[in-house]
Chains A and B, each alone.
Chain A
Amino acid sequence: MQKNIGLEDSQIVRKNNIDDSDPTATETAIRECIEEGCNVIFATSWGYMETVAALAEEFPDIYFAHGTGYMSNGKNFTNYFGRIYQARYLSGIAAGLKTQSNKIGYVAAQNKDNSEVTGGLDAFAMGIYSVNPDAKVYVRVTNSWYDPEGESAAAKALIAEGCDVIGQHCNTPNPQLAAEEANVWGVGYNSDMIKDAPKAVLCSVLWDWGAYYTAYVQSIIDGSYDGSNYYGGLAEGLVDISDLADFNDPEAAAKIEEAKKSIIDGSFNVFDGVIETNDGSTVGEEGGTLDDATITGGINWYFKNIVEESAQ
């Protein structure tokens, strides 16, 4: 963003590592930003939401944008998030083509009740199914957004069960490192985990928040800001997958490119039509697609190729 808009270093204030379960620390950090003269504030973690909501009322002249939550006031406080499930679908194609055991593992931070995690997992599983209908996806839930040991242990349990590609929706690269140590493959998340586990990671599912920050700040500069929430995806450049590692299946690049094109041109929306879940019920209707409210808050089912329990 900084480069695109031409801001100087002194025009950006960063507060790193603010504990998002600590409202006092959050408030202090934001107030410090305001005191230093910031008039656009991005709050990037779920737990900041309510603090930001309150401060947005107190400082009506300052623009607040909060990521990954759901609150907004239509004026100076907006919410932004993205269609990470689109990128996850693409990464599923790489995983589905690569697996030899037809068992793919997934380390999930939260269980089925969390729509963000579950929707991402479903999209990953659907991507796998699109190229390899025989493969099953095995899930382990750590019940924490940050648990280095649990994430590693979950991945090892999946590998012990025979999974040879490990996907993840959790914060540390530990599942990928566990995959590398066991000589299997993985799909990283959040940062390009190829740098952490170069022998294992097929590709990583990535956010590019810079694309959004640039658009947001530019809209304020132009005067086109209208207080609406933002929900971008592949088309906006907000989400994507990293470059594919060279040990991917030779067909992967072409198939991913094809799917990516259809998502960007709108002919395919991942959660299209009637979707079969793993308990035998169905979701969605013929010719339709799930709406955004359902995708962000109402996906509490697993796609049909997802196995919740141990195979033993």
Chain B
Amino acid sequence: MSMFVKFLVAAVGSGTPLLFGTLGEIVNEKAGHLNLGVEGMMSLGACAGFMVGYVSDNFLLALLAAFAAGALGGLLYAVLTVTFMADQNVTGLTLTIFGIGLSNFIGIYMLGRSETGSLKLPETITRQMRNIHIPKLSDLPVVGELLFSYNPFVYLGIALAILLAFYFKRTKTGLNVRAIGENPGAAAAAGIPVTKWKYLHLLLGGGICGIGGAYCVMIINGGVWISNSVGGLGWIAVALVIFATWSPAKALFGSLVFGALRVLKYYNFFKLDIPIAIYDMLPFLVTALVLVLTSIRQSREKAQPASCGVNYFREER
């Protein structure tokens, strides 16, 4: 039992960076942009968050920097695809390569300047970024461990998912953005400022990815800088968007499932003697299944926004 609780806790920990990447990508895709630069924006956020945290020893400042760096990546992408109509797939891929490259470059430069040959976040920020402990609540058996003992990112991610779900379902702006994602021509005809909302949501999505990057350096890598710090999680987040059928609320559930599938191989409950590569494949197998199932059901609500991946050119209307 206690091992199962630990497994669930590990699943939440493993799912959280995916949650941020997924939410960021959902915001992008809702506005009609398939952004394959999630990994790059996460890397930029990882680097900025780490470096600012390293210098300032201030958790909040580090988070803001991570958000800003991710948003900056989103801005690059927005300028290229919204204003200059560059191909979305190619731009996104380029952003990934650029983001990883730049963050590694800065990281290696900073490593070269450090006396110990290692970069580690200072004491205060390390304490703040680690698991919280609420007296009494965190000490409750099982419940305390399952609900009240995570790092701050987990609660931030959950709040963000709920906020975004509300935003896209219930607010006027959120619905307008979805209209842009489905049919920007019709949205523009209805008087919705297409370009402005696209820019804002590409920035917002990038920023959210950036926070996911900060999670990678602070929690997964324990506050020590390593190259390729995001390690491919951004790509899994792109798959998770499909699994979550473009719904921020389902992303919450989806990231927990993906997180669980990703750590399952380290908690051998079923004593199965199967090749470990099968475990590595599970999240993607499930994604493929979801794709097949949703396309059979033909539900418009659960599909990718119709104009996602296609640039909007006003004159062609």
Contact = CB atoms under 8 A, between A and B. Distances in A.
B: contact size bracket: 35 or more
Interface in B242-289: 262-263, 265-269, 271, 276-277, 280
Nearest to A162: B3
Nearest to B11: A153
A153 B118 contact: no
B262 A149 contact: yes
Contacts of A157: 6-7, 10, 263, 266-267
Among A147, A181, A196, A309, max chain B CB count under 10 A is at A196
Interface size class of A (residues with CB under 8 A): 20 to 34
Contacts of B269: 310, 312
B188 interface: no
B79 to A, nearest CB: 28
B302 interface: no
A141 B279 CA distance: 11
Interface stretch (B199-207, B222-230, B308-316): B222-230
Contact of B277 (A17, A143, A152): A143
A143 B276 contact: yes
A219 to B, nearest CB: 29
B227 A17 contact: yes
Contact of B118 (A140, A148, A181, A195): A195
Nearest to B227: A17
A210 B269 CA distance: 45
Given A310-B269, A312-B269, A149 B117 contact: no
A34 to B, nearest CB: 24
B147 interface: no
B76 to A, nearest CB: 23
B231 A146 contact: yes
A156 interface: yes
Interface in A111-147: 111, 140-141, 143, 146-147
Given A16-B108, A143-B276, A177-B221, 10 more contacts: A141-B265, A149-B14, A153-B14, A156-B10, A156-B13, A156-B266, A160-B10, A173-B226, A191-B117, A197-B224
Interface of B: 3, 6-7, 10, 13-14, 17, 104, 108, 116-118, 120, 130, 216, 220-224, 226-229, 231, 233, 262-263, 265-269, 271, 276-277, 280
